[in-house]
Amino acid sequence: MSEISFQCPRFTKCAVNNCPLDSMYPHRGSSPLDVERTCRVAKSIRIRLAGGSALMYGGMTKREYSANKAWNALSPEEQQKRRESAKKSLLSLHTDNPNKKRYTDTGVENEGGKA
């Protein structure tokens, strides 16, 4: 384990063998018998903890790292275009809902009350 993994807020109760904050990540691998196979700590926290360390993926999973690399390879114009497209998609979920249902953290509600 690396010194960085000891700084993780979940370190004392975590059971992930293939931790993105471990200097051996991703070489440790995980077993089907592992209680937890994926890190539950937010990516932003893992990146902050990794800071300027020599971790291969900077505290990110391999998937997060490759997506970040692909995003950074886009031109600023393309990044902005994709942000706007994502915003439009989110807005359409709220405005184009034909059943006038509102999705909340407690369930689905019709315009006049619970569904």
Angle at 105 between CA 100 and CA 108, to 5 degrees: 30
Q: Which of the residues in the chain have pLDDT under 50?
A: 113-115
The gap between the terminal CA atoms of the chain, to the nearest Å, is 50
Q: Tokens at residue 61, please?
A: 């999973």
Q: What is the pLDDT of residue 103?
A: 59
Tens digits of residue pLDDT in 61-81:
999 999 999 999 999 999 999
Q: What is the pLDDT of residue 106?
A: 63
Instruction: Give this prediction's pTM.
Output: 0.68
Q: What is the pLDDT of residue 96?
A: 57
**Residue 20 to residue 107: CA distance in whole angstroms:** 34
Q: What is the pLDDT of residue 28?
A: 82
Cα–Cα separations (whole angstroms), residue 73 to 60, 66, 83, 90: 17, 11, 15, 24
